[in-house]
Every structure is written in C-alpha cells, then in structure tokens.
Amino acid sequence: MFTTPRIAIVGAGLGGLVCACVLQQHGVPVMVFERETAPHSRSQGGTLDIHEDTGQAALRAAGLFDQFLALSRPEGQEWRLYDRHATLIRHDRADDDDLTRPEIDRGQLRALLLDSLAPGTVRWGHSVRAVTPLPRGTVRLHQQDGTDEDFDLVIGADGAWSRVRPALSEAQPSYAGVTLVEAQFDDVDHRHPGIARLVGRGTMSAKAGRRSLVLQRNSNGHVRAYINFRGPQDWHAGLDLVDTQAVRTRLLAQYQGWHESLLDILRDNEGGFVNRPMFVLPVAHSWRRVPGITLLGDAAHLMPPVGVGANLALLDGAELARAVIAHSTVDEALDAYESVMLPRAADNAKTAQQMLTTLMPDNDSDAAAFPDNLWPTGTLPDAPAHTG
C-alpha cells in the first residue's frame, strides 16, 4: 500500500462512514467532512432493509455485523399489499430468524458506524463547496469557510447534490416524474390502532395506478407514511406546504374514492407533511478518471428508491476502502474499485427504473401486480438526499 495517504471523505452518510471505518481498521488515516453540525442535528430518516450480499457484506468487512444484528428487526421484513379498497392482495410473512434482509432504523445504523470511528474523524459543520485536481495527482478540497486542504484522495460520498461530482461529471439529477410526500405516526399500537393493523410488523403498500400509499414500521412504535404519486414536480402550485390542513385537503382530493381506513393515513398523521420529489442520475452514469477523485453511493449512481440505494452505498464504501488497502497507488485502487462499481451501478439503475415503472405506471389502472422478485420493504426514501 502507498505510504501515509491523505484521504478525505465528503459526507458522513452510511457509505462514507463504512469506508472510513474499514480504512481506520487497517491503519489508514482518513478525515470525514460533514456539513451537519452534529450527529443528531436532523432526523436521519426511516427504516432500511440490509441485504445479505451487499449491505451485510459491507458491515462484515467493517467488523460490525454482530452489532448490527443486535439492533436489527428481522420481523420487519413482513410486507402486505392492498388495493385501494383495502383488500389484502398479498402478504409476505417473515420469520424472526430470517436474516435475508432484516430492517434497521437508518439513524441506528449511522450511530453504529459513527461509534466505530476514532474520535475526531468526522469534522462536523465543515461544508465542502468544490474540489480541484492539482498537478501530480493531488486534490484540493475547498470549504465554504474559505479554507483549502490538499489530499491524495477525495471521495465524494455526499449524495444526490454532490459538490465533488462536478470534478468528474457534468451530470445533474433530474426529476423522475414521481413525488413522495412523507408523514409520521408515533406510538401506533396505542394511539393509531388502525394504522398498526394495516402496517403489521413491517411494510404495507396500497396501490392503484399512478398513486400508492405506503406505511413502514420503524422501531419504538414509530411509523413513517409515504404518499406517492406520478405527476409534475410542481403538483403543489398555489399551495403553502407549511399549511398542513391545506396539504391534507389537496392529498385527500387526489385519493378520493379510496377506502376510509387508507385515507386515515392522510387524515391522522402527527405533525406536517414533507414534500420529497424523486430525482435520479442518468442510467449508467460514469466518468473519465480524474486522478485522486471518486464517488460512491448516491453521488455516483442516484436511482429510484427501490430498496438498493443504501445497500449499494455501504458496499461501495467497503469495497473502495479495501481497494485502497490492497493497492500501492491511488490510481490502481480507483481502477480496481470503479471497474466493479460502475457496471454494477448501471445494472442496478436499469433495474430500479424498471421497478419504478412497475410500482408507479403512467396510467390510472387499478392493477396492483408486483414481480415475484420485488420485495418492496425499504423501497422508499428514508431521509432527504444527503448533501455532505
């Protein structure tokens, strides 16, 4: 391995943190730059299903698999599909010892990764505005406060609106034609028994054509709802999104004719609604090598949220760290990493786009079919796109 590399990771999301963890375990110093001011400065989002061959493999590489299992909820893999009349169409049950894709709250997983790092690894409140390649393969990292630092490798793990990506690619996220509006419920088993019955121990989806309603059970009796529909990004034109009652009225009009028990998802949420338009990068997004700069996770391959994004970010982070450890130069490490990551991302992005079309077709048919290989748990965004 090359001697004392200076490595910066931009973004303290899951992919960036697992990369830092694996690097540190092998004695490679690393700094993580994060624009958030503290670990709990904002909600980290909902629940994730962590897959055996991707996310779990990354956690094993980081030495955190047993701790993950202790926090995870295998029973959360249960999934129910309803039509808009609240008729149960499909029910996939999960055994408590099924470790195929156990659920975990994103915040719990992030805290686990943060706790594994040496104190001071993450520089909180350090927002990066750009990176510039320098002669001899080094990279200058420019912070919002005017400070510049030079590194041998800068890793963009800073999500959909990455500040690192422009050094590699002109690609920008575009609206995918689908919007998700988030709502929340607390202590559902006591305060919202109807919601508890719908969601069961895991996830439920009620679907009709261009619209669906989804509930996902998190830990501690918390449930997140996602109101999903295909339409223009400015669906809320003339509407104050801070006016909860006005948003509720608009959404109820969109779901007119749905069963009353499903409409309670729109009526009874606690707090307001959060508008989350879905953005994607072009399928098969790639770039020409720029010495000392690479990307992982959503910064590299933002795709429709159909259950693979967080898992791929974790796998990217672990594989990139192992490539750095195993090779004698940064260029060799990036060759090894990108030659695997980019084709894998292209394949997954193509599949994710096909799944989005199946889940949210551009018509108003009442058909509610899902392909047999689609397990929708974790198929919806758990937090705003991370921007590092």
Sign of CA dihedral 43, 308, 19, 331: negative
**Angle of helix 106-115 relative to helix 14-25, nearest 10 degrees?**
20
Q: Tell me how far apart the alpha carbons of residues 359 and 93 are, in angstroms, rounded to a whole number.
A: 20
pLDDT band at 306 (very low <50, low <70, confident <90, very high): confident
Q: What is the mean pLDDT of the chain?
A: 91
- Mean pLDDT check: name the lowest of 85-89, 128-132, 285-289, 369-373: 369-373
DSSP per-residue codes, 292-353:
TEEE-THHHH----SS-HHHHHHHHHHHHHHHHHH-SSHHHHHHHHHHHHHHHHHHHHHHHH
Per-residue pLDDT tens digits for 310-348: 999 999 999 999 999 999 999 999 999 999 999 999 999
- Look-up of token digits 């559902």: 188
Beta strand 47-49 with 103-105 is antiparallel
Does an H or E element contain 110, and which?
A: helix 106-115
Buried residues in 252-282 as b, exposed as e (16+ CB within 10 A): eeebeebeeebbbbbeebeebbbbbbbbbbb
206, 208, 323: which is closest to 265 by C-alpha?
206
Q: Tell me how far apart the alpha carbons of residues 343 and 348 are, in angstroms, rounded to a whole number.
A: 9
Per-residue pLDDT tens digits for 247-304: 999 999 999 999 999 999 999 999 999 999 999 999 999 999 999 999 999 999 999 9
Buried residues in 63-84 as b, exposed as e (16+ CB within 10 A): ebbebbeebbbbbbbbbbbbbb
Q: What is the pLDDT of residue 382?
A: 43
Does an H or E element contain 74, and which?
A: none
**DSSP secondary structure code for residue 73 in this structure:** B
pLDDT band at 364 (very low <50, low <70, confident <90, very high): low
Domains contained in the chain, CATH given:
7-74+104-173+280-359 (3.50.50.60)
How far, rounded to the nearest angstrom, does the alpha carbon of residue 283 sit from its chain's CA centroid? 17
Q: What is the pLDDT of residue 158?
A: 97
Per-residue pLDDT tens digits for 118-175: 999 999 999 999 999 998 899 999 999 999 999 999 999 999 999 999 999 999 999 9
Flag whether pLDDT at 41 surpasses 90.
Answer: no
322, 358, 359: which is closest to 337 by C-alpha?
322
pLDDT band at 3 (very low <50, low <70, confident <90, very high): low
Q: What is the pLDDT of residue 43?
A: 76
Q: Count CB atoms within 10 A of the CB of residue 35.
A: 22
Predicted TM-score of the model (pTM): 0.92
